[in-house]
Amino acid sequence: MGFLRHVFRWLSLALIALAGAWLLWPARDGEAASARRDGRDAANRAEARHVITLSPGSAYLPGAVPFGVGQPLVGLAAVIRDFEKRFPDTRVEIINVPGVREYIVTQLSSGRAPDIINVNVEDVWTDVQKGWYVPLDAYLEAPNPFIREKGDPTAPGYHQWWDMFKYQAISRGKAAPDGRNYCISFDMVETAIFYNKDIFAKVGVSVPTTWEQWLDDMAKLEAAGYTPLLMSIYAFNDWCVDLIFDQLYYAVLPGIDLLQDPTREKYLEGYLDWDELCFLYRQGFFTPRDPRYAELWRHMRALRKYCNRNLANIDTDREFVTQQGAMYWTACPLTYRLMADKELGFEWGVFYLPRFTTATSEFASETEMCVIGGAGMQYEVTNSAYNDTGDPATSEKLERVIALLQFMTVPEHYERIVNEYPCFLPNVVGVPVLPSLEPFEAILERRYTTTKWIFTFDLRFSEIQQRMLELYLNDGIALDAFLEWQEANLEAATQNLLARKNVDMARLEREWDRRAPLRADTRGLPYD
Protein backbone atom coordinates (compact mmCIF):
# COMPACT_ATOMS: atom_id res chain seq x y z
CA MET A 1 0.00 0.00 0.00
CA GLY A 2 2.84 2.32 0.98
CA PHE A 3 4.67 1.53 -2.24
CA LEU A 4 1.58 2.26 -4.34
CA ARG A 5 1.10 5.57 -2.57
CA HIS A 6 4.74 6.39 -3.25
CA VAL A 7 4.36 5.58 -6.96
CA PHE A 8 1.12 7.54 -7.18
CA ARG A 9 2.77 10.57 -5.59
CA TRP A 10 5.68 10.53 -8.04
CA LEU A 11 3.36 9.99 -10.98
CA SER A 12 1.27 12.96 -9.92
CA LEU A 13 4.37 15.13 -9.66
CA ALA A 14 5.56 14.00 -13.08
CA LEU A 15 2.15 14.76 -14.59
CA ILE A 16 2.12 18.23 -13.06
CA ALA A 17 5.65 18.87 -14.37
CA LEU A 18 4.63 17.71 -17.84
CA ALA A 19 1.54 19.87 -17.84
CA GLY A 20 3.62 22.87 -16.75
CA ALA A 21 6.18 22.25 -19.47
CA TRP A 22 3.41 21.99 -22.06
CA LEU A 23 1.90 25.27 -20.91
CA LEU A 24 5.24 27.05 -20.97
CA TRP A 25 6.30 25.68 -24.35
CA PRO A 26 6.36 28.52 -26.92
CA ALA A 27 3.24 28.40 -29.07
CA ARG A 28 3.58 28.03 -32.81
CA ASP A 29 2.23 31.31 -33.97
CA GLY A 30 0.00 31.91 -36.93
CA GLU A 31 2.70 33.31 -39.13
CA ALA A 32 4.88 30.23 -38.81
CA ALA A 33 1.91 28.04 -39.60
CA SER A 34 1.11 30.24 -42.57
CA ALA A 35 4.73 29.97 -43.73
CA ARG A 36 4.55 26.20 -43.70
CA ARG A 37 1.36 26.32 -45.71
CA ASP A 38 3.04 28.45 -48.31
CA GLY A 39 6.07 26.25 -48.52
CA ARG A 40 8.34 28.86 -47.04
CA ASP A 41 10.15 28.38 -43.82
CA ALA A 42 9.75 30.61 -40.83
CA ALA A 43 13.41 31.65 -40.84
CA ASN A 44 13.07 33.25 -44.27
CA ARG A 45 9.98 35.11 -43.16
CA ALA A 46 11.73 36.39 -40.06
CA GLU A 47 14.28 38.01 -42.38
CA ALA A 48 11.59 40.14 -44.04
CA ARG A 49 12.79 43.68 -44.52
CA HIS A 50 9.43 45.21 -43.76
CA VAL A 51 6.89 43.90 -41.32
CA ILE A 52 3.54 45.60 -41.74
CA THR A 53 0.99 45.26 -39.00
CA LEU A 54 -2.64 45.56 -40.06
CA SER A 55 -5.67 45.72 -37.83
CA PRO A 56 -8.49 45.17 -40.32
CA GLY A 57 -11.38 45.17 -37.87
CA SER A 58 -13.46 42.18 -36.92
CA ALA A 59 -15.49 42.18 -40.17
CA TYR A 60 -12.55 40.93 -42.24
CA LEU A 61 -10.37 39.27 -39.63
CA PRO A 62 -8.97 36.06 -41.13
CA GLY A 63 -10.23 33.02 -39.28
CA ALA A 64 -13.07 34.86 -37.60
CA VAL A 65 -16.56 33.41 -37.91
CA PRO A 66 -18.96 36.36 -38.28
CA PHE A 67 -21.71 36.19 -35.67
CA GLY A 68 -20.51 32.68 -34.92
CA VAL A 69 -22.37 31.40 -37.98
CA GLY A 70 -20.90 29.86 -41.14
CA GLN A 71 -17.32 29.42 -42.27
CA PRO A 72 -14.18 31.23 -41.04
CA LEU A 73 -13.15 34.20 -43.16
CA VAL A 74 -10.32 33.67 -45.63
CA GLY A 75 -10.60 36.55 -48.11
CA LEU A 76 -8.18 39.04 -46.60
CA ALA A 77 -5.61 36.35 -45.79
CA ALA A 78 -5.62 35.26 -49.44
CA VAL A 79 -5.11 38.82 -50.67
CA ILE A 80 -2.28 39.33 -48.20
CA ARG A 81 -0.59 36.14 -49.37
CA ASP A 82 -0.70 37.52 -52.93
CA PHE A 83 0.77 40.78 -51.71
CA GLU A 84 3.59 38.98 -49.92
CA LYS A 85 4.33 36.99 -53.07
CA ARG A 86 4.51 40.23 -54.96
CA PHE A 87 6.81 41.76 -52.33
CA PRO A 88 8.89 38.91 -50.89
CA ASP A 89 10.77 41.28 -48.60
CA THR A 90 7.53 42.23 -46.85
CA ARG A 91 5.53 40.37 -44.28
CA VAL A 92 2.03 41.39 -43.22
CA GLU A 93 0.88 40.58 -39.73
CA ILE A 94 -2.81 40.71 -38.95
CA ILE A 95 -3.52 42.00 -35.50
CA ASN A 96 -6.88 41.88 -33.82
CA VAL A 97 -6.91 45.17 -31.99
CA PRO A 98 -9.81 45.52 -29.58
CA GLY A 99 -12.15 48.29 -30.62
CA VAL A 100 -11.44 50.06 -27.39
CA ARG A 101 -10.26 53.60 -27.80
CA GLU A 102 -8.35 53.47 -24.53
CA TYR A 103 -6.20 50.70 -25.92
CA ILE A 104 -5.56 52.38 -29.24
CA VAL A 105 -4.65 55.71 -27.64
CA THR A 106 -2.03 54.10 -25.43
CA GLN A 107 -0.62 52.23 -28.41
CA LEU A 108 -0.49 55.37 -30.54
CA SER A 109 1.10 57.48 -27.85
CA SER A 110 3.87 54.92 -27.44
CA GLY A 111 4.36 54.51 -31.19
CA ARG A 112 3.40 50.84 -30.98
CA ALA A 113 0.05 50.91 -32.75
CA PRO A 114 -0.46 48.71 -35.80
CA ASP A 115 0.68 50.43 -39.00
CA ILE A 116 -2.85 50.36 -40.34
CA ILE A 117 -5.76 50.61 -37.94
CA ASN A 118 -9.49 50.79 -38.27
CA VAL A 119 -10.95 53.69 -36.28
CA ASN A 120 -13.85 56.05 -36.92
CA VAL A 121 -12.06 58.94 -38.54
CA GLU A 122 -13.94 61.51 -36.48
CA ASP A 123 -12.07 60.06 -33.50
CA VAL A 124 -8.86 60.60 -35.42
CA TRP A 125 -9.65 64.25 -36.09
CA THR A 126 -9.35 65.11 -32.40
CA ASP A 127 -5.75 63.85 -32.37
CA VAL A 128 -4.35 64.84 -35.75
CA GLN A 129 -2.23 67.60 -34.24
CA LYS A 130 -0.28 64.99 -32.28
CA GLY A 131 1.28 63.49 -35.38
CA TRP A 132 -0.18 60.05 -34.72
CA TYR A 133 -1.59 59.67 -38.24
CA VAL A 134 -0.26 60.04 -41.77
CA PRO A 135 -2.18 62.33 -44.15
CA LEU A 136 -3.04 60.30 -47.25
CA ASP A 137 -3.91 63.05 -49.75
CA ALA A 138 -0.66 62.83 -51.68
CA TYR A 139 -1.11 59.10 -52.21
CA LEU A 140 -4.79 59.40 -53.07
CA GLU A 141 -4.03 62.04 -55.69
CA ALA A 142 -1.35 59.84 -57.28
CA PRO A 143 -2.06 56.79 -59.48
CA ASN A 144 -2.66 53.41 -57.94
CA PRO A 145 0.45 51.59 -59.24
CA PHE A 146 -1.35 48.24 -59.46
CA ILE A 147 -3.92 49.75 -61.81
CA ARG A 148 -1.29 51.72 -63.68
CA GLU A 149 0.69 48.61 -64.50
CA LYS A 150 -2.31 47.11 -66.29
CA GLY A 151 -1.94 49.86 -68.86
CA ASP A 152 -5.61 50.82 -69.28
CA PRO A 153 -5.81 54.63 -69.04
CA THR A 154 -9.60 54.49 -68.72
CA ALA A 155 -9.52 52.32 -65.61
CA PRO A 156 -10.34 54.16 -62.38
CA GLY A 157 -7.13 54.52 -60.42
CA TYR A 158 -4.92 54.88 -63.48
CA HIS A 159 -4.61 58.62 -62.94
CA GLN A 160 -5.58 58.99 -59.30
CA TRP A 161 -6.19 56.43 -56.58
CA TRP A 162 -9.10 58.63 -55.53
CA ASP A 163 -11.01 57.69 -58.70
CA MET A 164 -11.37 54.09 -57.59
CA PHE A 165 -13.75 54.94 -54.79
CA LYS A 166 -17.40 54.63 -55.66
CA TYR A 167 -18.85 56.87 -52.93
CA GLN A 168 -16.73 59.87 -53.79
CA ALA A 169 -18.63 62.41 -51.74
CA ILE A 170 -18.64 60.28 -48.60
CA SER A 171 -15.01 59.30 -48.97
CA ARG A 172 -13.83 62.84 -49.63
CA GLY A 173 -16.18 64.12 -46.95
CA LYS A 174 -14.09 62.23 -44.42
CA ALA A 175 -11.41 64.90 -44.74
CA ALA A 176 -10.58 66.36 -41.35
CA PRO A 177 -11.44 69.96 -40.64
CA ASP A 178 -7.76 70.75 -41.28
CA GLY A 179 -8.56 69.87 -44.89
CA ARG A 180 -6.46 66.71 -45.02
CA ASN A 181 -7.64 63.16 -45.41
CA TYR A 182 -6.41 60.67 -42.89
CA CYS A 183 -8.42 57.62 -43.85
CA ILE A 184 -9.32 55.26 -46.63
CA SER A 185 -13.07 54.72 -46.55
CA PHE A 186 -12.73 51.07 -47.36
CA ASP A 187 -16.42 50.19 -47.50
CA MET A 188 -19.81 51.58 -46.58
CA VAL A 189 -22.24 50.78 -43.79
CA GLU A 190 -25.82 51.84 -43.37
CA THR A 191 -28.42 51.39 -40.67
CA ALA A 192 -32.06 50.49 -41.03
CA ILE A 193 -34.96 49.15 -39.03
CA PHE A 194 -34.99 45.37 -39.34
CA TYR A 195 -38.50 44.11 -38.74
CA ASN A 196 -40.19 40.78 -38.18
CA LYS A 197 -42.77 40.44 -40.97
CA ASP A 198 -44.59 37.64 -39.19
CA ILE A 199 -45.13 39.70 -36.05
CA PHE A 200 -46.20 42.71 -38.13
CA ALA A 201 -48.78 40.57 -39.94
CA LYS A 202 -50.00 38.97 -36.73
CA VAL A 203 -50.48 42.31 -34.95
CA GLY A 204 -51.80 44.02 -38.08
CA VAL A 205 -49.27 46.79 -38.51
CA SER A 206 -47.48 47.89 -41.65
CA VAL A 207 -44.27 49.66 -42.54
CA PRO A 208 -44.81 53.26 -41.35
CA THR A 209 -44.51 56.36 -43.49
CA THR A 210 -44.62 58.95 -40.73
CA TRP A 211 -43.21 59.17 -37.23
CA GLU A 212 -46.72 59.22 -35.67
CA GLN A 213 -47.74 56.09 -37.52
CA TRP A 214 -44.56 54.46 -36.31
CA LEU A 215 -45.33 55.33 -32.67
CA ASP A 216 -48.92 54.04 -33.13
CA ASP A 217 -47.60 50.78 -34.56
CA MET A 218 -45.25 50.40 -31.63
CA ALA A 219 -48.09 50.91 -29.17
CA LYS A 220 -49.97 48.05 -30.85
CA LEU A 221 -46.91 45.81 -30.82
CA GLU A 222 -46.36 46.52 -27.14
CA ALA A 223 -49.98 45.74 -26.35
CA ALA A 224 -49.50 42.41 -28.13
CA GLY A 225 -46.68 41.53 -25.72
CA TYR A 226 -43.64 42.28 -27.89
CA THR A 227 -40.77 44.65 -27.32
CA PRO A 228 -41.62 46.99 -30.21
CA LEU A 229 -38.12 48.32 -30.90
CA LEU A 230 -34.74 46.96 -29.90
CA MET A 231 -32.11 49.62 -29.48
CA SER A 232 -29.00 50.15 -27.43
CA ILE A 233 -28.07 53.32 -25.60
CA TYR A 234 -25.26 53.71 -28.14
CA ALA A 235 -27.79 53.88 -30.97
CA PHE A 236 -29.74 56.49 -29.04
CA ASN A 237 -26.67 58.55 -28.28
CA ASP A 238 -25.21 58.35 -31.75
CA TRP A 239 -27.75 57.79 -34.54
CA CYS A 240 -30.98 58.83 -32.89
CA VAL A 241 -29.72 62.19 -31.63
CA ASP A 242 -28.39 63.09 -35.06
CA LEU A 243 -31.45 62.02 -37.03
CA ILE A 244 -33.95 63.85 -34.84
CA PHE A 245 -31.63 66.86 -34.69
CA ASP A 246 -31.64 66.92 -38.48
CA GLN A 247 -35.44 66.69 -38.61
CA LEU A 248 -35.78 69.71 -36.32
CA TYR A 249 -32.96 71.91 -37.62
CA TYR A 250 -32.84 71.18 -41.34
CA ALA A 251 -35.29 73.97 -42.20
CA VAL A 252 -33.22 76.58 -40.39
CA LEU A 253 -29.88 75.49 -41.81
CA PRO A 254 -29.64 78.32 -44.39
CA GLY A 255 -29.54 80.79 -41.54
CA ILE A 256 -27.14 78.90 -39.27
CA ASP A 257 -24.84 76.88 -41.53
CA LEU A 258 -22.18 79.56 -41.56
CA LEU A 259 -19.23 77.97 -43.35
CA GLN A 260 -19.21 76.03 -46.57
CA ASP A 261 -16.19 74.03 -47.59
CA PRO A 262 -16.29 73.36 -51.34
CA THR A 263 -14.19 70.19 -51.00
CA ARG A 264 -16.56 68.62 -48.51
CA GLU A 265 -19.84 70.28 -49.36
CA LYS A 266 -20.94 67.84 -52.03
CA TYR A 267 -21.58 65.25 -49.37
CA LEU A 268 -21.62 67.35 -46.22
CA GLU A 269 -24.04 69.93 -47.54
CA GLY A 270 -25.27 71.96 -44.62
CA TYR A 271 -23.07 70.01 -42.21
CA LEU A 272 -22.42 71.85 -38.95
CA ASP A 273 -18.78 71.46 -37.99
CA TRP A 274 -17.37 71.92 -34.53
CA ASP A 275 -16.47 75.58 -35.02
CA GLU A 276 -20.01 76.31 -36.18
CA LEU A 277 -21.51 74.40 -33.27
CA CYS A 278 -19.27 76.28 -30.83
CA PHE A 279 -20.34 79.58 -32.30
CA LEU A 280 -24.03 78.67 -32.37
CA TYR A 281 -23.81 77.50 -28.77
CA ARG A 282 -22.47 80.91 -27.83
CA GLN A 283 -25.53 82.36 -29.56
CA GLY A 284 -27.80 80.38 -27.27
CA PHE A 285 -28.43 77.37 -29.48
CA PHE A 286 -28.34 73.92 -27.87
CA THR A 287 -29.19 75.33 -24.46
CA PRO A 288 -32.41 75.27 -22.43
CA ARG A 289 -33.32 78.48 -24.26
CA ASP A 290 -33.40 76.68 -27.61
CA PRO A 291 -36.88 75.13 -28.05
CA ARG A 292 -35.76 72.79 -30.86
CA TYR A 293 -33.01 71.40 -28.68
CA ALA A 294 -35.39 70.70 -25.80
CA GLU A 295 -37.79 69.03 -28.20
CA LEU A 296 -35.09 66.77 -29.58
CA TRP A 297 -34.73 65.01 -26.23
CA ARG A 298 -38.49 64.87 -25.61
CA HIS A 299 -38.97 62.94 -28.83
CA MET A 300 -36.24 60.54 -27.84
CA ARG A 301 -37.93 59.82 -24.53
CA ALA A 302 -41.22 59.22 -26.36
CA LEU A 303 -39.44 56.69 -28.56
CA ARG A 304 -37.64 55.08 -25.64
CA LYS A 305 -40.98 54.03 -24.11
CA TYR A 306 -41.21 51.36 -26.76
CA CYS A 307 -37.69 50.00 -26.42
CA ASN A 308 -36.10 47.24 -24.39
CA ARG A 309 -35.96 47.96 -20.66
CA ASN A 310 -32.19 47.59 -20.43
CA LEU A 311 -30.56 50.01 -22.83
CA ALA A 312 -27.04 48.97 -21.93
CA ASN A 313 -25.64 45.52 -21.66
CA ILE A 314 -28.27 43.79 -23.71
CA ASP A 315 -27.88 41.24 -26.48
CA THR A 316 -30.23 42.88 -28.94
CA ASP A 317 -29.33 40.47 -31.78
CA ARG A 318 -30.53 37.62 -29.66
CA GLU A 319 -33.73 39.39 -28.63
CA PHE A 320 -34.54 39.92 -32.30
CA VAL A 321 -33.80 36.42 -33.57
CA THR A 322 -35.72 34.88 -30.69
CA GLN A 323 -38.71 37.03 -31.74
CA GLN A 324 -38.96 38.91 -28.47
CA GLY A 325 -38.50 42.18 -30.32
CA ALA A 326 -40.53 43.15 -33.38
CA MET A 327 -38.08 45.72 -34.76
CA TYR A 328 -34.38 46.32 -34.38
CA TRP A 329 -32.51 49.45 -35.35
CA THR A 330 -29.05 48.35 -36.32
CA ALA A 331 -26.51 48.33 -39.15
CA CYS A 332 -26.39 46.19 -42.29
CA PRO A 333 -24.00 43.46 -41.03
CA LEU A 334 -26.99 41.90 -39.24
CA THR A 335 -28.18 40.85 -42.70
CA TYR A 336 -25.64 38.05 -42.73
CA ARG A 337 -26.63 36.92 -39.25
CA LEU A 338 -30.27 36.60 -40.32
CA MET A 339 -29.52 35.02 -43.69
CA ALA A 340 -27.09 32.48 -42.34
CA ASP A 341 -29.30 31.34 -39.48
CA LYS A 342 -30.88 28.12 -40.74
CA GLU A 343 -33.18 27.96 -37.74
CA LEU A 344 -34.53 31.49 -38.03
CA GLY A 345 -38.25 30.95 -37.84
CA PHE A 346 -39.60 34.14 -39.41
CA GLU A 347 -39.58 36.39 -42.44
CA TRP A 348 -37.82 39.69 -42.06
CA GLY A 349 -37.41 42.92 -43.95
CA VAL A 350 -35.89 46.37 -43.56
CA PHE A 351 -37.19 49.91 -43.77
CA TYR A 352 -35.78 53.28 -42.92
CA LEU A 353 -37.01 55.56 -40.20
CA PRO A 354 -40.08 57.60 -41.19
CA ARG A 355 -39.97 61.37 -41.23
CA PHE A 356 -41.38 63.84 -38.74
CA THR A 357 -44.47 65.79 -39.78
CA THR A 358 -45.91 68.97 -38.37
CA ALA A 359 -48.13 66.72 -36.29
CA THR A 360 -44.96 65.46 -34.64
CA SER A 361 -43.42 68.85 -34.09
CA GLU A 362 -44.00 72.43 -35.07
CA PHE A 363 -40.31 72.52 -36.02
CA ALA A 364 -40.48 69.48 -38.31
CA SER A 365 -38.67 70.13 -41.55
CA GLU A 366 -41.01 67.78 -43.44
CA THR A 367 -38.01 66.23 -45.13
CA GLU A 368 -37.18 62.56 -45.33
CA MET A 369 -34.86 61.14 -42.71
CA CYS A 370 -31.24 61.65 -43.59
CA VAL A 371 -28.53 59.03 -43.69
CA ILE A 372 -26.62 58.17 -40.57
CA GLY A 373 -24.28 55.57 -42.03
CA GLY A 374 -21.37 56.13 -44.37
CA ALA A 375 -17.86 54.82 -44.29
CA GLY A 376 -17.64 51.45 -42.52
CA MET A 377 -14.07 50.26 -42.14
CA GLN A 378 -11.95 53.37 -42.10
CA TYR A 379 -8.29 52.59 -42.40
CA GLU A 380 -5.78 55.04 -41.02
CA VAL A 381 -2.01 54.83 -41.34
CA THR A 382 -0.30 55.48 -38.02
CA ASN A 383 3.07 56.85 -37.00
CA SER A 384 4.33 53.26 -36.61
CA ALA A 385 4.28 52.95 -40.41
CA TYR A 386 7.47 55.01 -40.74
CA ASN A 387 9.33 53.69 -37.74
CA ASP A 388 12.12 52.44 -40.06
CA THR A 389 13.47 55.96 -40.54
CA GLY A 390 11.26 58.04 -38.27
CA ASP A 391 10.54 60.33 -41.21
CA PRO A 392 7.54 59.78 -43.48
CA ALA A 393 9.36 61.49 -46.33
CA THR A 394 12.16 58.91 -46.43
CA SER A 395 10.42 55.82 -45.09
CA GLU A 396 10.44 52.79 -47.39
CA LYS A 397 8.15 50.97 -45.01
CA LEU A 398 5.52 53.69 -45.32
CA GLU A 399 5.60 53.28 -49.11
CA ARG A 400 5.00 49.57 -48.64
CA VAL A 401 2.16 50.19 -46.18
CA ILE A 402 0.46 52.44 -48.72
CA ALA A 403 1.11 49.82 -51.40
CA LEU A 404 -0.75 47.26 -49.29
CA LEU A 405 -3.79 49.52 -49.08
CA GLN A 406 -3.59 50.19 -52.82
CA PHE A 407 -3.30 46.47 -53.48
CA MET A 408 -6.33 45.75 -51.32
CA THR A 409 -8.44 48.21 -53.32
CA VAL A 410 -7.70 46.66 -56.72
CA PRO A 411 -11.19 45.37 -57.71
CA GLU A 412 -10.33 41.68 -58.03
CA HIS A 413 -8.61 41.73 -54.63
CA TYR A 414 -11.18 43.97 -53.04
CA GLU A 415 -14.09 41.75 -54.03
CA ARG A 416 -12.51 38.77 -52.31
CA ILE A 417 -12.38 40.74 -49.08
CA VAL A 418 -15.59 42.76 -49.01
CA ASN A 419 -17.95 40.42 -50.81
CA GLU A 420 -16.87 37.30 -48.98
CA TYR A 421 -20.17 37.58 -47.11
CA PRO A 422 -22.93 40.20 -46.94
CA CYS A 423 -21.65 42.66 -44.39
CA PHE A 424 -20.65 46.03 -45.86
CA LEU A 425 -21.30 47.79 -49.15
CA PRO A 426 -18.37 47.94 -51.58
CA ASN A 427 -16.75 51.33 -52.07
CA VAL A 428 -14.67 50.44 -55.12
CA VAL A 429 -15.91 51.10 -58.63
CA GLY A 430 -16.67 47.91 -60.53
CA VAL A 431 -17.29 45.74 -57.49
CA PRO A 432 -20.95 44.67 -57.35
CA VAL A 433 -23.20 45.00 -54.31
CA LEU A 434 -24.42 41.67 -53.00
CA PRO A 435 -28.18 41.40 -53.63
CA SER A 436 -29.06 41.11 -49.96
CA LEU A 437 -27.45 44.48 -49.29
CA GLU A 438 -29.22 46.37 -52.08
CA PRO A 439 -31.85 47.94 -49.76
CA PHE A 440 -29.02 49.52 -47.81
CA GLU A 441 -27.46 50.86 -50.96
CA ALA A 442 -30.76 52.64 -51.69
CA ILE A 443 -30.81 54.18 -48.22
CA LEU A 444 -27.25 55.38 -48.63
CA GLU A 445 -28.34 57.53 -51.56
CA ARG A 446 -30.09 59.88 -49.14
CA ARG A 447 -28.77 63.17 -47.82
CA TYR A 448 -26.19 63.00 -45.03
CA THR A 449 -26.93 64.11 -41.49
CA THR A 450 -26.61 67.73 -40.36
CA THR A 451 -24.04 66.96 -37.70
CA LYS A 452 -22.69 64.11 -35.63
CA TRP A 453 -22.84 65.21 -32.04
CA ILE A 454 -20.77 62.57 -30.33
CA PHE A 455 -17.96 62.81 -32.86
CA THR A 456 -17.79 66.58 -32.87
CA PHE A 457 -16.53 67.31 -29.40
CA ASP A 458 -14.12 65.56 -27.08
CA LEU A 459 -14.75 62.13 -25.65
CA ARG A 460 -15.59 63.54 -22.25
CA PHE A 461 -18.54 65.32 -23.85
CA SER A 462 -19.72 62.12 -25.53
CA GLU A 463 -19.35 60.08 -22.37
CA ILE A 464 -21.28 62.54 -20.23
CA GLN A 465 -23.97 62.99 -22.88
CA GLN A 466 -24.46 59.24 -23.10
CA ARG A 467 -24.62 58.78 -19.36
CA MET A 468 -27.04 61.61 -18.76
CA LEU A 469 -29.10 60.63 -21.77
CA GLU A 470 -29.45 57.11 -20.42
CA LEU A 471 -30.48 58.54 -17.08
CA TYR A 472 -33.01 60.85 -18.73
CA LEU A 473 -34.42 58.11 -20.94
CA ASN A 474 -34.89 55.92 -17.88
CA ASP A 475 -36.80 58.63 -16.00
CA GLY A 476 -33.92 59.19 -13.62
CA ILE A 477 -33.76 62.90 -14.31
CA ALA A 478 -36.20 65.56 -15.55
CA LEU A 479 -35.75 67.30 -18.88
CA ASP A 480 -34.79 70.61 -17.23
CA ALA A 481 -32.07 68.97 -15.20
CA PHE A 482 -30.87 67.05 -18.24
CA LEU A 483 -30.64 70.26 -20.27
CA GLU A 484 -28.66 71.90 -17.49
CA TRP A 485 -26.20 69.01 -17.57
CA GLN A 486 -25.97 69.28 -21.33
CA GLU A 487 -25.32 73.01 -21.15
CA ALA A 488 -22.51 72.53 -18.64
CA ASN A 489 -21.15 69.68 -20.72
CA LEU A 490 -21.26 71.71 -23.91
CA GLU A 491 -19.66 74.69 -22.19
CA ALA A 492 -16.71 72.53 -21.05
CA ALA A 493 -16.40 70.91 -24.46
CA THR A 494 -16.54 74.26 -26.24
CA GLN A 495 -13.87 75.75 -24.00
CA ASN A 496 -11.67 72.72 -24.54
CA LEU A 497 -12.14 72.89 -28.28
CA LEU A 498 -11.47 76.61 -28.52
CA ALA A 499 -8.32 76.13 -26.46
CA ARG A 500 -7.04 73.34 -28.69
CA LYS A 501 -8.01 74.55 -32.14
CA ASN A 502 -7.67 77.80 -33.98
CA VAL A 503 -11.28 78.75 -34.45
CA ASP A 504 -11.80 81.98 -36.37
CA MET A 505 -14.73 83.34 -34.38
CA ALA A 506 -14.55 86.73 -36.13
CA ARG A 507 -15.21 85.09 -39.47
CA LEU A 508 -18.14 83.17 -38.02
CA GLU A 509 -19.47 86.40 -36.55
CA ARG A 510 -19.37 88.06 -39.97
CA GLU A 511 -21.18 85.13 -41.59
CA TRP A 512 -23.73 85.17 -38.80
CA ASP A 513 -24.50 88.82 -39.46
CA ARG A 514 -24.57 88.25 -43.21
CA ARG A 515 -27.17 85.52 -42.83
CA ALA A 516 -29.43 87.47 -40.49
CA PRO A 517 -32.06 88.02 -43.21
CA LEU A 518 -32.33 84.25 -43.70
CA ARG A 519 -33.28 83.87 -40.06
CA ALA A 520 -35.68 86.79 -39.99
CA ASP A 521 -38.89 84.75 -40.33
CA THR A 522 -37.75 81.69 -38.43
CA ARG A 523 -39.75 80.80 -35.34
CA GLY A 524 -38.32 79.31 -32.17
CA LEU A 525 -34.79 80.66 -32.33
CA PRO A 526 -33.09 80.85 -28.94
CA TYR A 527 -32.78 84.62 -28.87
CA ASP A 528 -36.48 85.16 -29.60
Partner 1 sequence: MTRPRPALIGHRARFTLSCYGLLLVPLALLTLFVYVPVMWAFTKSLFQFEVGGASRFIGLDNYVEFITRDPTTIPSFLNMLFLTLFAVCTRLSIPLILAKLIHALASERARYFYRVLFLIPVLVPGVAVQLIWAGMIYRDRGMLNEALRAVGLDTLVTGWLSDPSTALVAVAFVGFPFVGGFEVLIYYAGLSSIPQSVTEAAAIEGCVGLQKFFRIDIPMVLSQLKLILILTIIGGVQGFQGIFIMTRGGPGFKTTVPGLWMYFNAFSFQRMGYACAIGVCLFAVIFGLTILNMRYFKSTEELVGRR
Contact residues toward partner 1 (CB under 8 A) are: 101-102, 105-106, 108-109, 127, 129-130, 132, 227, 233, 308-315, 319, 324, 458-460, 463, 466-468, 470-471, 474-477, 485, 488
Q: What are phi and psi of 443, to 5 degrees?
A: -65, -40
Minimum CB distance to partner 1 smaller for 316 or for 378: 316
Long-range contacts of 516-525 (CB under 8 A, 24+ apart): 516/255, 518/254, 518/255, 519/252, 519/255, 519/256, 522/251, 522/252, 522/255, 523/362, 523/363, 524/291, 524/292, 524/362, 524/363, 525/252, 525/290
Minimum CB distance to partner 1 smaller for 102 or for 343: 102
Provide, rounded to whole angstroms, the least separation between the CB of residue 463 and partner 1. 6
How far is residue 351 from each of residues 178, 197, 328, 491, measured CA to CA in Å? 36, 11, 10, 37
Minimum CB distance to partner 1 smaller for 278 or for 307: 307
Minimum CB distance to partner 1 smaller for 443 or for 464: 464
Provide, rounded to whole angstroms, the least separation between the CB of residue 103 and partner 1. 8
Provide, rounded to whole angstroms, the least separation between the CB of residue 416 and partner 1. 36
> H helices of 149-290, where?
168-173, 197-203, 211-223, 233-235, 241-249, 253-256, 274-282
Minimum CB distance to partner 1 smaller for 356 or for 457: 457
Provide, rounded to whole angstroms, the least separation between the CB of residue 341 and partner 1. 19
Provide, rounded to whole angstroms, the least separation between the CB of residue 487 and partner 1. 12
Provide, rounded to whole angstroms, the least separation between the CB of residue 76 and partner 1. 29
Minimum CB distance to partner 1 smaller for 241 or for 280: 241
**CA-based torsion, 420, 425, 428, 433: positive or negative:** positive
Minimum CB distance to partner 1 smaller for 95 or for 477: 477
Q: Are 114 and 384 in contact (CB under 8 A)?
A: yes
Provide, rounded to whole angstroms, the least separation between the CB of residue 32 and partner 1. 30
Could you give the CA distance from residue 87 to residue 410 in angstroms, rounded to a whole number? 16
Provide, rounded to whole angstroms, the least separation between the CB of residue 170 and partner 1. 27
Minimum CB distance to partner 1 smaller for 123 or for 212: 123
Paired residues of 53 in beta bridges: 93
Minimum CB distance to partner 1 smaller for 60 or for 132: 132
CB-hemisphere CA count at 13 Å for 159?
A: 5
Provide, rounded to whole angstroms, the least separation between the CB of residue 457 and partner 1. 11
Could you give the CA distance from residue 212 to residue 197 in angstroms, rounded to a whole number? 20
> H helices of 149-273, where?
168-173, 197-203, 211-223, 233-235, 241-249, 253-256
Strand order in the sheet with 191-196: 227-230, 325-331, 191-196, 348-351
DSSP code, position 115: S
